[in-house]
Amino acid sequence: MNLGLAAVASEVKVALAVDCLGVAASRALAAPLHGSARRDNASGWDARESLDSAHAGTLLVRREGSWRFALVEIDDREMGLQEASRRAYSALFSWLAREGALYPARFWNYVAEINREQGGSERYRQFNAGRQQAFFDARHDAFEGAPAACALGVRSGPLRVAVLAGPQTPVAVENPRQVSAYRYPVDYGPRPPSFSRAAWVELEPDRQALLVSGTASIVGHETRHAGDVRAQADETLRNLEAVLRAAARTGPSLALSDLVCTVYLRHADDLEPVRERVEPALGPAAAQAAVWYRADICRSDLLVEIEAHALAPQGTAACA
């Protein structure tokens, strides 16, 4: 077997997955604060389709071998965010079902004014309620085994949800330092978020990638270091290390220096202090690859969140 070519094929798939983020992020967010935006090659997408009246939005799709990428946009102003979230997820799930046996591995969520109270509840909580309903309706795992995800706040615009889905069930990873998000107590909202801390996917036989969910300064279920962005950055790095340690039980061992990170900061002014903490922990290559954005985080006391993916070297599958 030509290992070089196989590696290139995998890199292409990862690049396409990142395109999915690039498109979602570039439509939802302003230009990066630091680092180069990943490709946002919307012209490389296969199709832009209008959703039927039951969903009322648009869908961008992309097919790459047995992998699928899709991005849905739904205006929540009339129907409300809970309903928009249910429709966005239901549109993605039904599209994936039409495409064949596909398993969502990771979602990206961009929500306007994510922390604003609206009609008696925070918009992030409404988003969570609609998401969980759609998982139940489509009979996808909303608890153990849920896909990886991130959820960020933007100033305005429609709800944007992107998905990466593949031919096999992803292997979910939890962080032993944190309560699973789908087990958060009801203090954080009547319906918990439906995501796992990370997910292993096999891009090619014997070629695994780890998709790490948005990770923040949460220990147990509580925010740590409210008001202290430096300490939040350090706690976030400890959580990323803990996720990588947990992931090494079901896949290859990875280090922070293997991660391709996207860093979200609530305050643009925090860029320098957080870079001072994060870049030495990542090392020069991963620091160079990281992209930094201004965005709101889904708890109003969180100031920084890091999401990442890593392509494991070939032939490093775990001994099960």
Instruction: Return the active site residues.
Output: 305
Using the rule CB under 6 A, give the single segment among 5-13, 33-41, 213-221, 276-284 that binds ligand 3EB: 213-221
Alpha carbon distances (Å) from 246 to 150, 173, 179, 258, 261: 19, 7, 14, 15, 18
Residue with the shortest CB distance to ligand 3EB: 214
Our CB check for ligand 3EB shows the closer of 235 and 258 to be: 235
Residues 6+ apart with CB under 8 A from 17: 67, 69, 106, 164, 309
Binding mask 153-182 for ligand 3EB (x = CB under 6 A): ----------------------------x-
The DSSP code sequence of 82-137 is HHHHHHHHHHHHHHHHHHSS-EEEEEEEEEETTT-EETTEEHHHHHHHHHHHHHHH
Binding mask 113-152 for ligand 3EB (x = CB under 6 A): ------------------------------------xxx-
Binding mask 57-96 for ligand 3EB (x = CB under 6 A): ----------------------------------------
Q: Of the candidates 93, 195, 292, 293, which one interacts with ligand 3EB according to CB under 6 A? A: 195
Alpha carbon distances (Å) from 141 to 1, 46, 156, 161: 36, 28, 30, 17
Question: Strand 58-64 to strand 47-50: parallel, antiparallel, or no bridges (unpaired)?
Answer: antiparallel
Q: Of the candidates 21, 173, 198, 218, which one interacts with ligand 3EB according to CB under 6 A? A: 218
Q: Which residues bind ligand 3EB (CB under 6 A)?
A: 109, 149-151, 181, 193, 195, 213-214, 216, 218, 298
